[in-house]
Structure 1
Amino acid sequence: MNTASTDTPRIWGGTTLATRQKARREKLVEVGLDLLGTPGATLSVRAACRSAQLTERYFYESFPDRDALVLAVYEELADEVRQVLDEAASEGDPAEVARRSIEALVTLMVDDRRKGRVLLVAPLTEAVLAQPSQALLPALGELIRSKLPRSTPAEQRTLISVGLLGSLTALFYAYLEGGMQVTREQLVDHCIAVLNHAGHLAG
């Protein structure tokens, strides 16, 4: 009588099927970031498979179509944004939080320009990212709201935070696309000044 459990994962090459599937998916997401975040590159199922050195069979094991990969790449980066902002706002006075937050965003989105382009440029051309990109805005808006006096009316806080969010987004976009000839340090200092000015706008 065979008493071996049918639930025991089958091992091949020292790893389980689930582990290999996870590794293949992670590889596809990584090459998806490369292709989506590199100017002149094209993200397609065939291009992703070629870059990941996988057959299309393994692509469809992880994603139903090309848009699903685009969405997976974006959502992973959006989670990174939320995480770094949460960590930056964990403690400290408002000025310190502002500096840490901007530094964290620049490290994530400028030091690795692929990520910045996926977060800021790709939503302009990828229809599948329209809704997720809008869902990310509250996390960034909250960074600005945290600089406003609590006594500021809610409507005014909303107007100010949305306006300044647009300003910061435009600054990052222009920097990534080469539209501004400034240093990284100048970008960081200016963005921090923009945030610090939020309180004055509240009157």
Structure 2
Amino acid sequence: MRTYDGMTAGERTAARRRRLMDAGLELFHTQGYPGTSIRAVLRRSGLQDRYFGESFPSLDALMAAVLAEIQDEEAARCRTAVTGPGTRGERARGMLRVLAAGVADDPGKGRVKLVESLAAGPLAANERRRGMRNLARLVEDMLLEDPPAPGTHTGVMALAIVGGVQQILLNWADGTLPLSREDVVEQGLRLFEAVAAFDGGPSARR
């Protein structure tokens, strides 16, 4: 297999894709999605014009790829939190701490996920929904640890929790909710507990 500068053609393509994604993440955070162009991404990445289309058909596709990476990393950490030891309430709190850390510890990624992805197109919208469903499945598994009340759709309840927490995080990130990180976690946990109690099981704190 032929190499150039010690890299195969596939490795060079992957490296260029990585540079585009890193540049996109930075610009989506600092300039906003509406203020970012393909040309700006190319300038920031140091790549020539022809290389964007090699990896992405559109700026929306780049946003979807950046968002997928953020959401997959976050979902993996949440899965570790909810499948570990402890009561259901403790594990739910662990998941909420992961989500809060995604905003507080890496505000660039947090803003891209919660704010800038909303301004992108259908590819990013589909990816955002995929990420929410992945988190909702983790929440639903915890809800199902107790038998749900008759007629309760735990999938719907789980989506309601995830959507509510996302709104809390969004308003916390933009300063609308002047809360500490632990306050955000605690309020999210109260939402989980309220839905879990309605879902027919005992308190999530048991």
What interval of TM-score do these two structures reach, taking the shorter chain for normalisation? Answer: 0.7 to 0.9
Matches within 5 A, 1:26-175: 26-38=18-30, 40=32, 42-92=35-85, 93-128=87-122, 129-145=124-140, 146-147=142-143, 149-153=146-150, 155-175=152-172
Amino acid at match of 2:22: E
The share of aligned pairs that are identical, in percent, is 30
Structure 2 partner of 1:13: 5
Structure 1: gaps spanning 5 or more residues: 1-7
Q: AA paired with 1:36?
A: F
- The whole-number CA distance in structure 2 between the counterparts of 1:197 and 1:147 is 11
Shift of 1:73: 0.9
Q: Name segments (4+ residues, structure 1) moved above 6 Å.
A: none
Give the Cα separation in 2 of the matches to 1:88 and 1:188.
14
- More contact order relative to length (CA 8 Å, sep ≥ 6): 2
| Aligned-pair CA distance for 1:103 | 1.4
| Kept after mapping to 2: 8 A contact 1:147/1:195 | no
Query: Cα offset for 1:164?
Result: 2.6
Aligned-residue RMSD, C-alpha = 2.2
Q: Return the TM-score normalized by structure 2.
A: 0.82
Structure 1 CA distance, aligned partners of 2:134 and 2:150? 20
CA–CA distance in 2 between the matches of 1:46 and 1:39?
Answer: 13
Give CA deviations for 1:27-59 in whole Å, capped at 9, x if unaligned.
111111112233556221111011111111222
1:143 to partner: Cα distance: 3.6
Q: 2:25 corresponds to which letter in structure 1? A: L
TM-score (norm 1): 0.83
